[in-house]
Amino acid sequence: MIGYPNKKKIQPPVSDPAISKARRGMSLEDDLNKTNSYYLDVDRAVIFKKPTPIQVVEVSYPARNKAKITEAYYRQASTTDYNGVYRGLPIDFEAKETVNKTSFSLAKLHKHQLVHLVNVYRHGAIAFLLIRFSSLDETYLIMVESLIRFLKNHDRQSIPYDWIKNEGIFIPYSLTPPVDYLTALDKILTEGVKRNEEKK
Amino acid sequence: MIGYPNKKKIQPPVSDPAISKARRGMSLEDDLNKTNSYYLDVDRAVIFKKPTPIQVVEVSYPARNKAKITEAYYRQASTTDYNGVYRGLPIDFEAKETVNKTSFSLAKLHKHQLVHLVNVYRHGAIAFLLIRFSSLDETYLIMVESLIRFLKNHDRQSIPYDWIKNEGIFIPYSLTPPVDYLTALDKILTEGVKRNEEKK
């Protein structure tokens, strides 16, 4: 992602300048790729980003066993970007970044992504949204249950930062892994497992 | 998929000629797309095929908001093709087709796919393989547990048809949905839920 020309000016001071410098320019997606690959390495969870859906129109074969795609288009995904398995439970989430400091615009969350999150939640998945306020360098996890409650009670085009700060779970930055969302999730998951047992 | 010139000759007679005719040329992937979309419509499960991973090298912008990919290559997937949520459990599987009538060649199952299936199984997912013997018009579901047992006890490059017939669950063809693998899975899943409860 290309930074805004005034990005450095709006970058807030953070406690550790070394970490701040190292992180500059790292997108949430980069951080999540590292995090998921760390979880896989230490055998904590199996969570992957889905490939971007692409509609292939034309393929040429410059060599016998080599296919070169010469015309293709990005398609809109029908699901969220991330899913997998953790502690026997299905995990499903979408990750979004915003440079806005006071709210998260709901236009960034596509309708089919919200529908998918609600669907997997109803079927028993741990479904959530990761929102990074990149100007503030803060990342929050918002369970789909909270999100549904917000949407029911507010007729707004955006979620205020203060609501996210109160309702979401703050994910502190660490080096390995950069976005340790599973640790943030552990308390909720333990409750979720109990809830599932009661349902049965 | 383009049929072999002698495909009609090797097509076996099936009980219902109308169904046989309708199905000719339908790949397992087509059937699974219909099946998963049926499961979603009737709200039985949320299972999707992952997009094919493609490495984009060059993109042109013929119009301001239109991206045209002009050079890209197929990449090897690091996971299986299908996953989702059913009855609160993570579901993960790979689907393979063979024209061979006597065995399924293990070369068709890539190492990283097998590793992924074993990984998600260890983390609590319902993991399996769907194998269609297209010349016989028979589809089987093989749980990863059975597959692991086979690989441990046999030093073979292929799984014999007879073993699959005995160890796998036969999935009869139906119109809606074409490959009703969840019904085939239900008995095993009920046992799986019990097993998970015991673990807790």
- pLDDT averaged over chain B? 87
A185: closest CA of chain B, how far (Å): 16
Confirm or reject contact between A196 and chain B (CB < 8 A).
yes
Residue in chain B lying closest to A86 (CA): B123
Indicate the pLDDT class of residue B24, thresholds 50, 70 and 90: low
Q: Which of A71, A120, A196 sits opposite B85 (nearest CB)?
A: A120
What number is the ipTM of this complex? Answer: 0.83
Instruction: Lay out the sheet containing A126-133: strands in order across.
Output: A46-49, A82-86, A89-98, A126-133, A138-143, A169-171
In this complex, is the C-beta atom of B37 within 8 Å of any C-beta atom belonging to chain A? no
Say yes or no to pLDDT of A126 above 70: yes
- Put simply, the chain B residues between 102 and 161 with a CB less than 8 A from any chain A CB are 116, 119-120, 122-125
CB B172 within 8 A of CB B159: no
Residues in chain B closer than 8 A to A117 (CB atoms): none
Q: Cα Rg for chain A, rounded, in angstroms? A: 19
Q: Assess A86–B contact: CB distance below 8 Å, yes or no.
A: yes
Q: Which residues of B touch A89 (CB under 8 A)?
A: 88, 90, 124
Task: Give the residue, B195 or A171, on which the prediction is more confident.
Answer: A171
* Separation in Å, CA B121 to CA A42, A71, A89, A163, B54: 16, 38, 11, 38, 27
> Do residues B54 and A70 make contact, with C-beta atoms less than 8 angstroms apart?
no
Cβ neighbours of A193 in B, within 8 Å: 200
Model confidence, pTM? 0.84
**In contact, A90 and B90? CB cutoff 8 Å:** yes
- Helix or strand or coil: residue B24? coil
**Arithmetic mean of pLDDT, A146-155:** 94
The pLDDT value recorded for residue A198 is: 64
Tell me the nearest-neighbour CA distance from A84 into chain B, angstroms. 8
What CA dihedral angle connects B65, B69, B70 and B73, to 10 degrees? 170
User: Residue A176 above 70 pLDDT?
Assistant: yes
Residues of A with CB below 8 A from B78's CB?
A: 48
Which tokens go with B91? 């579901």
Assess whether pLDDT exceeds 60 at residue B166. yes
Stretch A143-170: mean pLDDT: 95
Nearest residue of B to residue A56, measured between CA atoms:
B69
The more confident residue out of A77 and A98 is A98
- What does the pLDDT average to over A169-176? 91
Say what the pLDDT of residue B199 is: 58
CB-based contacts of A167, cutoff 8 Å, min separation 6: A142, A146, A150
* Burial profile A155-193: b = 16 or more Cβ within 10 angstroms, e = fewer: eeebbebebbeebbbebebeeebbbbbbebbeeebeebb
Q: Which residues pair with B90 in a beta bridge?
A: B85
Yes or no, beta carbons of B124 and A45 under 8 Å apart: no
> A92–B70: do the CB atoms touch at under 8 Å?
no
**B200 interfaces chain A, CB cutoff of 8 Å:** yes
Q: How far is A120 from A148, CA to CA, in rounded Å?
A: 13
Mean pLDDT of B119-135: 97
